Amino acid sequence: MTQTQALPTPGTRVGHFRVAHALSRRVRLKSAIFGDPLFDGVYFQALLEALPGVSEARINVRGGCLVVVHDGRLETWEKLLQSLKGIPNEAFQHSPESEAPVTGSDVGIKALITVCAQALPWPAKAFLGWTMSMGVIVKGIEALFSGGLKVETLDATAIVMALARGKYFTAGSITTLLALGQYLEGQSEQRSTQLLKGLLRPQVEKVWVVRDGVEVQTPVEQVVPGDRVVCGAGELIPIDGVVAEGEASVNQSSISGESVPVHIRPGEAVISGSVIEEGRLTIAVERVGSETSMARIGRFIDQSLRGKSKTQTKSAALANKLVPITLGLGGLMLLATKDVNRATSVLTVDFSCAVKLASPVAVRSGMYAAGQAGVLLKGAAALDALQDVDTIVFDKTGTLTTGLIAVTDILPDQGLAETELLALAAGAEEHYDHPVARAVVREAKRRAIALPPISRVDFIVAHGVSASIDGKHVLVGSHHFVAEDEGISCSDMEEKAAVLRSQGKSLLYVAMEGKLAGIIALRDDPRPEAGAVLDALKASGISKIVVLTGDHKDTALALARTLPQIDDLHYELKPEDKAAIVERLKKEGRIPAFVGEGVNDAPALVTAHVGVCMPRGADLAREAAQVLLLHEDLHTLVVAREAAARTNTIIRQTFGATIGCNSLIMLLATGGMSPVLAALLHNATTIGILGYAAMAASRPLGRNAVVAANTRCREEVC
């Protein structure tokens, strides 16, 4: 079957959809499903765009139309048709109160009609005024009968009173303002959505695939189950599958959170996101694209776009509570003065409008700014959660530490000096791309040690290196490789080795001419920014910092000595112990955040008030966390905290400005201000407050947040 034959023709039914137009790489479908108030078009669009080969999906809710741009391959069509036929239940979890997005042209048309209608005769002016306002009026009536006095009811009342008295400019201004607020909120939400989808795109664009016995470079979206993908040293594995050929040392820190590579052999499974440190693998593909462990975009989109923050919920509730007050004041003014103009002026001053709209605009803009600064907030509720936190719990490996191995001890034997032992090891490891090798070579360069010439070197995967240096046979590797595989006695240094192991250090054995030449100890160092970040967190209001690790006691205590900001330390833990400690902190009345990245961190991430996942986090950890740090820099954790604090501050400021400005306008309205002028002042004030919320919350975040926090810390200490 050719690809052209596989394309559906106009009129073809595909589940709930009917093909309206089809080209080789583009299809337009019609469906009444878009009219379902529970259908979440943004979520469904994100699911389609996550399919391999689909570059864009656009949904026009009003037109009942879906346009999909794709690569034209048969496999892509099959995946697309499966998705269209089997729409998941999650796509029907939209809020019934959700509305079709307001476009800029909608706002512009309403504003144009409002202005131009003033030059028309009365019948045309009245017709346009009532027609343009009918949507708001109907919503107000529905809200009145379904939930009592709400913001929609007040909006409708103000508009009806203005229309009834022939104040069409006032009615049109209110209608335009409501549309403008919805448009600003929609734009902020759209920016956050587009940023989110861009951040979660696959990290690998092309891979090597074996086809007809030849390796060819292929776009990753064209890889299908059954293909054989070849990955070499230093490459990210972009698919889930089973090793068909080769052996390799694979860094699964994105899976397990641990920095020690794993030796992978034929028949063993590999998961997307792992990195090959050494060796070469041919992998039989099982899952690709949106089906891999690293590409669960649907759940991220679901969490990020559907949740509302506690502050947003409170603002909406407060807005509804202010409605009866405004209506009551308008009624009292009418009874006291018998002046309809004054009553209408008071009613036109809507406290709830800015209160209701400023909060979601600030939250969405804050999420966008945080994303630009390297913090992905999976939902508006994450902002509130970060603001409330008073305790931060760190998993040690890969969070407070770099995940990069460093040399700590050099113990020579056979009369060698430290520099001679390090030169032997670095000379043998210089051309070996492995974390341990890089650490040894880096240490030799730091000490400015000249490396000896090498005439031959052999790499033994997941064990070590065999090299010929100045005519002498040198072995560098693990105890198993040197002592067991090569039969070299290491008994003379067993006591020293035991001490180093008890400190949580890994050991590299060096042998020369059949005898042990010495031991090099290595460990994972703390991040260079860790101390400053912990200081900044405490300055931001964090009262307790806890560190959890499965490392030996001595290793954990060494970290605590390096970072005196740590208040509590737990070591030699099992994975399940972490969640139990977080739960205990909650029972003590604390509000903890947990920062981790491994699969074994997922229970603690879920248990904490807010879970924070590092950039190289395992897929399960990324899904469990509410906050994802996108840069390998702990300063982004301070940025996340700053984003939450700034957004909540802006919401409080907009609330104060709304109450203050509208109270002043209402006071002027009771003094005889005309309804039109009252409406204009109120509308201008609301637009200004919404503009401030959007601009202030979307200002760039970055290291200035850390600098400010450290400044506050120093000032408090002084």
Q: Give the pLDDT confidence of 334-363 residue by residue, as tens digits.
A: 788 777 777 767 776 767 667 777 777 787
Task: Name the token pair of 157.
Answer: 């009342």
Q: Which residues contact 637 (CB under 8 A, 6 or more apart)?
A: 392, 533, 537, 595, 612, 629
Determine the pLDDT at residue 72. Answer: 82
Determine the pLDDT at residue 611. Answer: 92
Mean pLDDT of 258-271: 77
Look at residues 623, 559, 562 and name the one whose alpha carbon lies nearest to residue 596: 623
Mean pLDDT of 419-433: 85
Determine the pLDDT at residue 625. Answer: 84
Greatest CA span in the chain, whole angstroms?
110
Mean pLDDT of 304-312: 58
Determine the pLDDT at residue 168. Answer: 87
Determine the pLDDT at residue 260. Answer: 61
Q: Write down the CATH number for the domain with range 206-294.
A: 2.70.150.10
Burial of 189: CB neighbours in 10 Å, binned 0-12, 13-18, 19+ = buried
The residue extents of the domains of the chain are 3-35+47-89, 104-193+299-368+643-713, 206-294, 402-526
**Single pTM value for the model:** 0.60
Of 548 and 711, more confident:
548
Query: Which helix (H) or strand (E) covers residue 251, if one does?
Result: strand 248-251
Q: Give the pLDDT confidence of 474-501 residue by residue, as tens digits.
A: 999 888 789 888 889 988 898 898 888 7
d(CA 184, CA 304): 18
CATH architecture for residues 402-526 = 3-Layer(aba) Sandwich (3.40)
d(CA 60, CA 65): 5
pLDDT band with cut points at 50, 70 and 90 for residue 287: confident
Q: Give the pLDDT confidence of 502-532 residue by residue, as tens digits.
A: 776 878 899 999 999 999 998 877 888 999 9
Mean pLDDT of the chain: 79
Q: Give the pLDDT confidence of 64-74 residue by residue, as tens digits.
A: 889 998 888 88
Q: Give the pLDDT confidence of 225-251 residue by residue, as tens digits.
A: 889 998 887 677 888 889 999 888 887
d(CA 247, CA 684): 68
Mean pLDDT of 619-637: 81
Mean pLDDT of 633-645: 90
d(CA 524, CA 399): 11
Distances, alpha carbon 302 to alpha carbons 94, 201, 307, 308, 469, in Å: 10, 16, 8, 12, 58
Mean pLDDT of 638-656: 88
Q: Give the pLDDT confidence of 543-598 residue by residue, as tens digits.
A: 999 999 876 676 678 788 889 999 999 987 776 788 899 999 999 999 999 998 87
pLDDT of residue 716 exceeding 60, the answer is no
Q: Give the pLDDT confidence of 444-477 residue by residue, as tens digits.
A: 999 999 888 877 777 665 467 888 888 889 999 8
pLDDT of residue 105 exceeding 70, the answer is yes
Task: Name the token pair of 136.
Answer: 């708001």
Q: Given the residues 40, 155, 384, 395, select the one marked as catalytic.
A: 395
pLDDT band with cut points at 50, 70 and 90 for residue 6: low
Task: Name the token pair of 545.
Answer: 């910092």
pLDDT of residue 59 exceeding 60, the answer is yes
Determine the pLDDT at residue 257. Answer: 43
Determine the pLDDT at residue 447. Answer: 93
**Alpha-carbon Rg of the chain, whole angstroms?**
32
Percent of the chain clearing pLDDT 90 (strictly above) = 16
Beta bridge partners of 458: 466
CATH topology of domain 3-35+47-89: Gyrase A; domain 2 (3.30.1360)
Q: Give the pLDDT confidence of 106-143 residue by residue, as tens digits.
A: 888 988 998 898 888 888 889 998 999 998 889 888 87
Q: Are 194 and 171 in contact (CB under 8 A)?
A: no
Determine the pLDDT at residue 602. Answer: 79
Q: Give the pLDDT confidence of 379-403 residue by residue, as tens digits.
A: 777 888 888 899 999 988 778 888 6
The answer to whether 554 is a known catalytic residue is no
d(CA 235, CA 186): 39
